[in-house]
Amino acid sequence: LSESGVPQLVQPMIWDYTADLDVEGKVHLIEKYRRCGFSKVWFASAFKGATGVNQSLTLIGHHLQNHLRWLAVASSSPADVLEGIVLTGWQRYDHFSVLCELLPVAIPSLAVCLQALKNGGYSEKIKENVEKLLGMSNLEIDTFMR
Confidence of residue 85 (pLDDT cuts 50, 70, 90): very high
Do residues 48 and 36 touch, judged by C-beta distance below 8 A? no
Confidence (pLDDT) at 98: 84
CA angle 60/75/68 to nearest 5° reads 10
Comparison of pLDDT for 36 and 1, the residue scoring more: 36
Beta-bridge mates of residue 105: none
Distance CA 24, CA 10 (A): 24
The model's pTM is 0.92
Q: Where are the domains of the chain?
A: 6-134
The candidate with the shortest Cα–Cα distance to 89, out of 101, 73, 77, is 101
DSSP 77-89: S-TTSEEEEEEEE
Distance CA 114, CA 41 (A): 19
Confidence of residue 63 (pLDDT cuts 50, 70, 90): very high
Average pLDDT for the chain: 93
Asked if pLDDT for residue 143 goes beyond 80, the answer is no
Of the listed ranges 65-69, 70-74, 89-93, the least confidently predicted one is 89-93
CA dihedral of 119, 34, 87, 122, whole degrees rounded to 10 = -20
Confidence (pLDDT) at 27: 98
